[in-house]
Amino acid sequence: MSRSPTSIARMNKQRFDYVIVGAGSAGCVLADLLSADGHHSVLLLENGGSDRSVVIQMPSALSIPMNMPKYNWFFHTEPEPGLGGRSLHTPRGKVLGGSSSINGLVYIRGNPLDFERWVGEGATGWGYADVLPYFRRAERRAEGGNEYRGANGKLGTSYGTLSNPLHAAWLVAAEQAGYPHTEDVNGFQQEGFGRMDMTVANGRRCSTANAYLRPALRRATPVSGQRSPPHRKVQQPEAVPRARRG
């Protein structure tokens, strides 16, 4: 998806139906959705670079990219009066896939009662029953779908392998200590100790770049790509899922 400054200049003369700034979680999904009908061209601009590194793609390396300035903007808060004046590190992804390429891979939905509370506070249409179909539609769960979980979407999720006997012992210990057990934290009962879902598919990180952007680029014709010279850091073109030449 890399492109030379020449192809970037050529792209500058092209017209697109949509321009998306940031190829992060939202940007990759949007690029896929907006180009899906085959009638609209999309320009997706990303400041960061390639996500091909093994430390991004390999789930067990997850703590590495989030600590690399190459992939993390390393934002810090203003000094917080309530924290003795400390500034807190606020990581954000700076790479294709955005934060979904450097995050902790935990797939856990909001608690249903939170959605209900938001509706009570005026967020009509955001109740748990309203959003559940979208969660299910997005998800491709390795362990299969049911009334809470999706199996045919693009975002791959899977349980980790519990091969270490200490994992099972931990869950037994939690029950012995009086805590509830849950079979599925994204299913009927969120509360309790149980296995956690990861955004991992076929042994790879299932970032939104892998889940949404790459299939979109395969479907369409990529006409322009990513990196501009360093002095043009902002709004470098990253990839263009383009279903129709304009």
Ligand X SMILES: Cc1cc2nc3c(=O)[nH]c(=O)nc-3n(C[C@H](O)[C@H](O)[C@H](O)COP(=O)(O)OP(=O)(O)OC[C@H]3O[C@@H](n4cnc5c(N)ncnc54)[C@H](O)[C@@H]3O)c2cc1C
Q: By the criterion CB under 6 A, which residues form the site for ligand X?
A: 21-27, 45-48, 66, 91-94, 98-100, 102-106, 234-235
Least Å from the CB of residue 178 to ligand X: 27
Amino acid (one-letter) located at 54: V
Nearer Cβ to ligand X, position 41 or 99? 99
Q: Which residues contact 157 (CB under 8 A, 6 or more apart)?
A: 107, 139, 140, 141, 142, 197, 198, 199, 200, 201, 206
Could you tell me the smallest distance in angstroms from the CB atom of residue 6 to ligand X?
A: 20
For ligand X, which is the closer residue by CB, 41 or 72? 72
**196, amino acid identity:** M
Q: Rank residues 71 and 220 by Cβ distance to ligand X and give the closer one.
A: 71
Q: Least distance (Å) from ligand X to the CB of residue 149?
A: 16
Q: Write down the least CB distance from residue 191 to ligand X, Å.
A: 18
Provide the 10 A C-beta neighbour count for residue 149.
21
Helix (H) or strand (E) holding 9: helix 5-12
Nearer to ligand X, 23 or 216 (CB): 23
State the minimum distance, in angstroms, from the CB of residue 215 to ligand X: 18
Choice between 35 and 103, CB closer to ligand X: 103
Q: DSSP labels for 155-201?
A: EEEEEPP--SHHHHHHHHHHHHTTPPB-S-TTSS--SSB---EESEE
Min separation Cβ 85 and ligand X, Å: 24
Amino acid residing at 182: T
d(CA 1, CA 97): 13
Question: Which residue minimizes CB distance to ligand X?
Answer: 24
Of 114 and 175, nearer to ligand X (C-beta) is 114
Least distance from C-beta 48 to ligand X, angstroms? 4
Per DSSP, 92 falls in state: -
CB 115 within 8 A of CB 131: yes
Write the DSSP assignment of 14-80 as a string of letters.
---SEEEE--SHHHHHHHHHHHTTSS-BEEEE-SSB----HHHHSGGGTTTGGG-TTTB--EEPPPB
Give the residue with the Cβ less far from ligand X, 98 or 225: 98
